[in-house]
Amino acid sequence: MKKSWSQIDFGFWIKRLSDSQHEIQLLKLTPLLQSKIQNLKSKINLTVIMKVLALASYPIEAAATRYRLAQFVRPLSERGINLTVRPFLDSRLFASLYKREELPRTALGLASASLHRVGDLLAARDADAVLVQREAMMFGPPLIEWLTVRWGRRPMVLDLDDATYLSYTSPTYGRLGSALKWFGKTDDLIRWARLVTCGNRYIAEYVEGAGGSARIIPTVVDTEKFRPRSTVKNDPLVLGWVGTHSTFPYLEMIFPALEQLARSHSFKLKVVGAGRKEVSVPGVEVQSLDWNLGREIEDFQSFDIGLYPIDARLYADKWAAGKSGFKAIQYMAVGIPFVATPVGACAEVGEPEVTHLFASTMDEWREQLASLLSDDERRMRMGTAGRRHALAHYTVPAQADKLAQALREAAG
């Protein structure tokens, strides 16, 4: 009968084979015996598969699911871990979630999703560990997580890429949405988790302060897919932003600066994912597009300069500090310079004045963007530096190693 991951302890043998003094002893063995030992190690890695069930709130259309779970399925498989991703919402329900006119249909969909999530408890019992991306269900108390840990007796890893422990008022559903969200659950999940993978240092500090064990794994993109575009130059140059309806107010914050900038510089503003049919800035040519998964990389590649404004006054206090700085990593991966607000992790991603520029006030936004619009050589230099920085610090294989280590550590 084949033993499970938890029953087989190859760690001792692998450690002995990897230990420095035993490696020295291996050098004294005959080549044939060394070959047999190496084959044994390979067989161990191939036959011992760790099974992990990932519970996500959103489908692959959501960046958190796409970049913190789905893109690691294959890399983890290569590392002996079988990752199965189960979203709470399907793609259709996710598309209607923030449309108030579809509230009745959304409510029915959420009820159905809840029943399916209960069924995932059985799958969790067959897993060696359960990885929860933010929360198993996007509303209500953490019942699924509690049953997974207490009834199913499965080790849980919590993944936090946002400051979900902070309450805020939903821009779509207002106080009703806030009440259903059950913000206090994150602290419970931190306590129940064997460890917590965190998108940045600020989240990790909160987790450790709440008594949890934190591991920092930034959100990254596949740099083989997110690559610089051809050298074709846009005319006029394109200032670009990709986001969601909830982060669009951050972009609106700098519209006065863009209006002033347009009086002296020619450029086009490309907005993706704002959830608005029309976006208007006086004196500025604006292209507003719905976000589309099949066009995501192409949209980033179409920009000449990336925009990453954040207004720390919006939503909850310190919410902005919990942002992972992911947009900066996307900009650098496609080799374009960007201007960002130095808040939270955004102040730590990349190299200021080398890969990007900082701006906080309207005057700073106008001046920094003007300097990039008027200097082709500087844009190219900063874009190249950004791409180099992304390859050095934010690749999928490097983060897959960290995630695999965290999952094995949690499983024991």
Count other C-beta atoms under 10 Å from residue 157's C-beta. 24
Q: At CA 322, angle to CA 318 and CA 325, rounded to 5?
A: 130
pLDDT tier, 139 (very low <50, low <70, confident <90, very high otherwise): confident
Measured CA to CA, the distance from residue 32 to residue 303 in angstroms comes to 57
More confident residue, 282 or 178: 282
Domains and CATH numbers, the chain: 11-34+46-220+396-411 (3.40.50.2000), 237-393 (3.40.50.2000)
Of 40-44, 110-114, 310-314, 353-357, which range is least confident? 40-44
pLDDT tier, 60 (very low <50, low <70, confident <90, very high otherwise): very high
**Helices 11-18 and 31-47, axial angle in degrees (round to 10):** 140
Residue spans of alpha helices (H) in 265-375: 296-301, 326-333, 362-373
For range 96-103, the mean pLDDT: 75
3-state secondary structure of 239: strand
Q: Which of 156, 163, 171 is nearest to 250 (CA)?
A: 171
Paired sense of beta strands 156-160 and 129-133, if any:
parallel
Count other C-beta atoms under 10 Å from residue 81's C-beta. 23
For residues 96, 99, 102, 106, the Cα torsion angle rounded to the nearest 10 degrees is 50
Measured CA to CA, the distance from residue 153 to residue 139 in angstroms comes to 23
CA 243 to chain centre: 13
Residue 252 structure tokens: 């609106």
pLDDT beyond 80 at 22: no
- Burial-class residue 163 by CB neighbours within 10 Å (0-12, 13-18, 19+): buried
pLDDT tier, 277 (very low <50, low <70, confident <90, very high otherwise): confident
Helix (H) or strand (E) holding 269: strand 267-272
In 273-394, the DSSP E strands lie at 285-289, 305-308, 338-340, 356-358
Measured CA to CA, the distance from residue 73 to residue 23 in angstroms comes to 32
For range 308-320, the mean pLDDT: 70
Cβ atoms of residues 331 and 265 within 8 Å: no
pLDDT beyond 70 at 351: yes
3-state secondary structure of 44: helix
156-173 residue pLDDT tens: 999 999 888 886 666 555
pLDDT beyond 80 at 107: yes
Measured CA to CA, the distance from residue 182 to residue 201 in angstroms comes to 24
The 3-state secondary structure of 46-111, one letter per residue: HHCCEEEEEEECCCCCCHHHHHHCHHHHHHHHHCCEEEEEEECCCHHHHHHCCCHHHHHHHHHHHH
Whole-number Cα distances in Å, 280 to 143, 168, 306, 401: 44, 27, 18, 44
Average pLDDT over the chain reads 86
Q: What is the largest CA-CA distance in the chain?
A: 78
Cβ atoms of residues 168 and 315 within 8 Å: yes
Q: What are phi and psi of 370, to 5 degrees?
A: -60, -40
CA 320 to chain centre: 15
Q: Which residues contact 17 (CB under 8 A, 6 or more apart)?
A: 23, 26, 37, 41
What pLDDT shows up at residue 246?
Answer: 85
More confident residue, 43 or 247: 247
More confident residue, 70 or 11: 70
Q: Which residues contact 159 (CB under 8 A, 6 or more apart)?
A: 68, 69, 131, 132, 133, 134, 196, 197
Measured CA to CA, the distance from residue 171 to residue 178 in angstroms comes to 10
Measured CA to CA, the distance from residue 299 to residue 336 in angstroms comes to 12
